């Protein structure tokens, strides 16, 4: 919380906490749905009967393959330096104390443009512990302009036992002052890939064993949106450029460059679903243009292919950038890329929020104005389930089964308490549609009224696209055998 306050005071671009877009998640067996409601984590059955809150301040819930356990993320605020200190390394604690002592001595922030400003809230908690809250507030009156107490947000990742009517908390796997954006469970249910917002402008991916143990860092740069291969041995993720390096740029014409992201593959686990003692270097599979404020996601299919969204472009000349985005499939041998939807089929414009069904035959793609579209993978045909829904996407559609999709829809009945509802729609029986949220308490469905925030890529502080960098730029040659979009 305090990081967000300082972002306002010092005009620092800082976005913390996860985008609460994945609010409704069905268990693998399709019998229960986890709802990250406005008043805590709740469970519901296929008829929409909602349980009491299971966990307060929940932000993410991911089911394990057994449908009886889950990994959840929750947050709590603290004003106690000791709570923060134990989550920091020795070097981080030393850095916080140095920043705090500078503030105490000068009564101000020594450099508001420095990345160290992100540690100011921790430094204030350190000073409160050392000198007392009242003396610190008096001495730093110019900084602490708000009456709200200085606090820090701690993200807690733990397991939950949901096998009984009285769910119970399991072991805490990780606690951090960084913001956890997403969690992906390996197919064997042994590992969790965690996407972490480290500073508001950078991300990293770590892997945690659900049996406990130290975290393994997969990528400590601008990496995000991980997904597991079907065999659970590898992670695929998007890596964004974090510096204006030549290798992150491609030529459009004599005076313009395009920023490039990549799809990477990292071998991470053995055949038993345990982290390898030493992971090999990650491999770059595909280069992607960074387009506007959108981002690319990946999904690993059962046959070893990889589905991702991107703006179309031509290689190797890279002279034509098409306006239309699409879903693409990377072949199992990682050598060929082909578009999945014909140019005349219009998918929803929130391609970075696509969701693949259980058998890989259909892909749901929402739109920013509440549209819900479904792509048939075999034929390329697109069906429109919702032409227009809520004014802005409130949560990502989620498959209950391979033929049932759960999504938000605008409530047009005058006597209903909710403006937006959660519905379960059958694709094989179009008339079979269940309104799950019709009896949900108003205090639980506040999230249905709030459109999703601009997507995570904006956190990455992307460079301006197509901006001339040099009069005569030099470029690294593309790696051989790397598939190109056509």
pLDDT digit string, tens, across residues 25-45: 999 999 999 999 999 999 999
With CA atoms as reference, report the closest residue to 375 among 427, 337, 420. Answer: 427
- pTM for the whole thing? 0.83
**pLDDT interval class at 449 (50, 70, 90):** confident
Beta bridge partners of 77: 153
* Confidence (pLDDT) at 480: 34
Q: Given a cut of 80, is residue 406 above it in pLDDT?
A: yes
- 93: pLDDT strictly greater than 90: yes
Confidence class of residue 203 from pLDDT cuts 50, 70 and 90?
A: confident
Q: Where are the domains of the chain?
A: 1-75, 80-150, 179-349, 351-392+394-450
How is residue 273 written in tokens? 């679903």
pLDDT at 337 over 60: yes
CA distance 193 to 359: 22
Position 405 pLDDT exceeds 90: yes
In whole angstroms, what is the distance from residue 123 CA to residue 114 CA? Answer: 14
186-200, 318-332, 361-375: least confident range: 318-332
Q: What is the 3-state secondary structure (H, E, C) of 241-294?
A: CCCCCHHHEEEEECCEEEEEEEEEEEECECCCCCECCCCCCCEEEEEEECCCCC
Contact (Cβ atoms closer than 8 angstroms) between residue 117 and residue 6: yes
The secondary structure of residue 347, as a DSSP letter, is: -
pLDDT > 50? residue 315: no
- Euclidean distance between the first and the last CA atom of the chain, given in angstroms as a whole number: 45
Q: Is the pLDDT of residue 388 over 50?
A: yes
Mean pLDDT throughout 46-60? 94
| 215-261 pLDDT per residue, tens | 899 987 788 889 999 999 999 999 887 654 545 555 555 555 667 78
Q: Residue 415: what pLDDT?
A: 61
Taken in order 404, 407, 410, 411, the sign of the CA dihedral is positive
Separation between Cα atoms, residue 238 and residue 308, nearest integer Å: 10
Q: Which CATH number fits domain 179-349: 3.40.190.100, 1.10.3720.10, 2.130.10.10, 2.120.10.30?
A: 2.130.10.10
What values do phi and psi take at 298, rounded to 5? -125, 150
Tokens describing residue 444: 């639980």
CA dist., res. 253 & res. 197, Å (int): 34
Radius of gyration of the chain from its Cα atoms, rounded to whole angstroms? 23
Say which residues have a Cβ less than 8 Å from residue 270's Cβ, sequence separation at least 6.
Answer: 233, 276
The overall average pLDDT reported for the chain is 81
The tokens for 460 are 């990455």
Q: What is the per-residue pLDDT across 131-177, written as a single tens digit (0 to 9) for each? A: 999 999 888 887 777 666 788 999 999 999 999 888 888 899 999 99
Which residues, other chains included, contact 188 with Cβ-Cβ below 8 Å and sequence gap of 6+?
65, 232, 272, 273
Using one digit for the tens of pLDDT, what is the confidence trace for 462-472?
333 333 232 22
User: How far from chain centre, in Å, is Cα 54?
Assistant: 23
Q: Specify burial of residue 347 (Cβ count, 10 A radius: 0-12, 13-18, 19+).
A: buried
| Whole-number Cα distances in Å, 126 to 10, 140, 382, 435 | 20, 13, 56, 50
d(CA 268, CA 171): 23
Q: Kindly state the tokens that stand for 401.
A: 């089964």
Kindly report the backbone phi and psi dihedral angles of residue 328, in degrees, each rounded to the nearest multiple of 5, phi listed first: -130, 155
Q: Is the pLDDT of residue 7 over 50?
A: no
């Amino acid at each position: 919380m305090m990081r967000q306050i300082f972002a306002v005071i010092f005009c620092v671009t800082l976005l913390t906490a996860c985008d609460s877009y994945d609010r409704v998640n069905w268990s693998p067996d399709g019998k229960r749905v986890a709802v990250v409601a406005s008043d805590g984590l709740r469970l519901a059955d296929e008829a929409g009967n909602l349980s009491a809150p299971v966990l307060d301040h929940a932000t993410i819930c991911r089911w394990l393959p057994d449908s009886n356990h889950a990994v959840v993320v929750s947050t709590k605020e603290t004003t106690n330096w000791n709570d923060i200190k134990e989550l920091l390394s020795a070097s981080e604690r030393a850095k916080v104390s140095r920043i705090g002592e500078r503030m105490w001595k000068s009564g101000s922030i020594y450099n508001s443009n420095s990345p160290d400003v992100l540690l100011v809230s921790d430094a204030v908690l350190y000073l409160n512990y050392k000198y007392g809250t009242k003396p610190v507030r008096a001495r730093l009156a110019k900084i602490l302009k708000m009456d709200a107490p200085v606090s820090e947000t701690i993200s807690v990742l733990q397991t939950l036992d949901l096998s009984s009517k009285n769910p119970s908390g399991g072991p805490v796997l990780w606690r951090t002052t960084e913001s956890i954006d997403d969690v992906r469970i390996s197919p064997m249910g042994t590992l969790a890939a965690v996407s972490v917002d480290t500073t508001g402008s950078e991300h990293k991916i770590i892997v945690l064993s659900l049996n406990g143990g130290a975290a393994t860092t997969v990528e400590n740069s601008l990496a995000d949106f991980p997904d597991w291969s079907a065999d659970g041995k590898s992670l695929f993720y998007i890596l964004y450029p974090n510096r204006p390096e030549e290798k992150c740029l491609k030529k459009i014409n004599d005076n313009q460059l395009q920023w490039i992201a990549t799809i990477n593959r990292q071998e991470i686990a053995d055949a038993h679903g345990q982290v390898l003692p030493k992971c090999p270097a990650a491999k770059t599979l595909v280069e992607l243009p960074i387009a506007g404020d959108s981002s690319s996601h990946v999904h690993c299919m059962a046959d070893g292919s990889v589905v991702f969204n991107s703006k179309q472009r031509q290689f190797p000349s890279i002279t034509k950038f098409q306006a239309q985005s699409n879903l693409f499939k990377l072949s199992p041998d990682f050598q060929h890329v082909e578009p999945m939807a014909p140019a005349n089929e219009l998918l929803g414009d929130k391609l970075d929020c696509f969701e693949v069904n259980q058998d890989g035959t259909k892909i749901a793609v929402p739109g920013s104005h509440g549209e819900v579209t479904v792509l048939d993978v075999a034929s390329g045909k697109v069906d429109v389930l919702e032409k227009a829904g809520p004014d802005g996407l409130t949560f990502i559609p989620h498959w209950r089964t391979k033929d049932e999709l759960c999504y938000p829809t605008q409530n047009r009945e005058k006597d209903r308490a909710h403006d937006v509802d959660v519905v379960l729609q059958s694709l094989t029986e179009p008339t079979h549609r269940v309104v799950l949220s019709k009896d949900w308490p108003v205090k639980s469905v506040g999230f249905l009224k709030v459109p999703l925030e601009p997507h995570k890529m904006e956190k990455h502080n992307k460079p301006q696209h197509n901006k001339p960098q040099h009069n005569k730029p030099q470029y690294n040659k593309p790696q051989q055998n790397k598939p190109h979009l056509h």
